[in-house]
């Protein structure tokens, strides 16, 4: 009986005097969370309302790249793009491939959502082509 009393006292003492790991884990979680006051902006936006267009902003334009278009499909692709009535004509660039045939890609500068959706519909009619977003070629 005395052994049980001593064992209970030891368990109670261990439970009472051992620090609670959940208390320190709460502070560690707070350290891991995103703290908005610690976020620093490295550059200022140069586009959009209230933004100023600098040299870099003027040089960078977002484009939708559609390609590679096979040489036999170039005329058909140009006719399809002409029907879209784009604000700026698409830029045609050759694609460097090892197949020997000269393939081209079209770059459409800053299309709106409707034009991008219509280009995606066109892409389905040209097997083997892809649409990617990126900077316009200079």
SS (H, E, C) the chain: CHHHHHHHHHHHHHHHHCCCHHHHHHHHHHHHCCCHHHCCCCCCCCCCCCCCCCHHHHHCCEEEEEEEECHHHHHHHHHHHHCCCCCCCCEEEEECCCCCCCEEEEEEECCCHHHHHHHHHHHHCCCCCEEEEEECCC
The confidence score (pLDDT) of residue 67 equals 82
Domains of the chain are: 59-135 (3.30.70.260)
The confidence score (pLDDT) of residue 8 equals 94
The confidence score (pLDDT) of residue 45 equals 54
Whether pTM > 0.85 for this model: the answer is no
What does each of the 138 residues of the chain score in pLDDT, given as a tens digit?
A: 899 999 999 999 988 888 766 666 666 666 666 666 666 666 555 555 555 554 555 556 788 888 888 888 888 888 888 888 888 888 888 887 655 668 888 888 888 888 888 888 888 888 888 888 888 887
The confidence score (pLDDT) of residue 34 equals 63
């Amino acid at each position: 009986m005395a052994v049980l009393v001593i064992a209970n006292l030891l368990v109670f003492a261990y439970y009472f005097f051992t620090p609670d790991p959940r208390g320190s884990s709460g502070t560690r979680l707070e350290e891991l969370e995103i703290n908005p006051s610690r976020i620093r902006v490295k550059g200022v936006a140069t586009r959009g309302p209230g933004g100023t267009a600098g040299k870099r902003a003027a040089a960078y334009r977002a484009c939708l790249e559609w390609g590679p278009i096979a040489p036999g499909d170039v005329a058909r692709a140009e006719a399809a793009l002409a029907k879209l009535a784009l604000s700026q004509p698409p830029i045609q660039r050759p694609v460097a491939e090892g197949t020997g045939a000269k393939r081209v890609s079209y770059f459409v500068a800053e299309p709106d959502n409707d034009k991008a959706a219509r280009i995606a519909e066109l892409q389905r009619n040209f097997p083997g082509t892809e649409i990617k977003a990126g900077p316009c070629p200079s």
